[in-house]
């Protein structure tokens, strides 16, 4: 005799389960992903730092419309928390400014 409870297959197990697990909004999840990308730039990688920066800047540029304040806040806090990466973050801000002229002014403000 099996004492386990019988599995009820309602056909929507994965959909229901994924909805229950998803507690954070999509915007919050995207903000966390952007923050993780910015924080990890310059760490061990198989590609060059230059290509990593260019790739990250293109990602940030595409998300700048929706997450401008979050990106500015992260980039202003990173050199304070990780001064060893200050040159990386200043280069990133310069690249962002080259692609979007107003970004540098907003960053300084």
Residue 66 in tokens: 């929706």
Q: Is the pLDDT score of 25 beyond 70? A: yes
Q: How far apart are CA 95 and CA 109, in angstroms?
A: 17
Which domains are delineated in the chain? 28-108 (1.25.40.180)
3-state secondary structure 54-89: HHHHHHHHHHHHHHHHHHHHHHHHHHHHCHHHHHHH
pLDDT tens digit sequence for 69-91: 999 999 999 889 999 999 999 99
Taking residues 12-27, report their average pLDDT. 58
pLDDT tens digit sequence for 31-67: 888 888 888 888 877 888 899 899 999 999 998 888 9
Task: Give me the pLDDT at residue 22, please.
Answer: 56
């Amino acid at each position: 005799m099996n004492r386990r409870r019988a599995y009820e297959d309602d056909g929507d197990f994965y959909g229901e389960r994924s909805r229950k697990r998803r507690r954070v909004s999509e915007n919050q999840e995207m903000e966390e992903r952007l923050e993780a990308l910015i924080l990890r730039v310059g760490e061990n990688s198989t590609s060059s730092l230059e290509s990593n920066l260019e790739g990250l800047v293109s990602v940030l540029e595409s998300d700048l419309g929706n997450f401008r304040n979050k990106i500015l806040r992260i980039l202003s806090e990173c050199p304070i928390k990780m001064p060893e990466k200050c040159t990386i973050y200043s280069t990133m801000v310069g690249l962002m400014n080259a692609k979007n002229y107003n970004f540098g002014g907003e960053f300084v403000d």
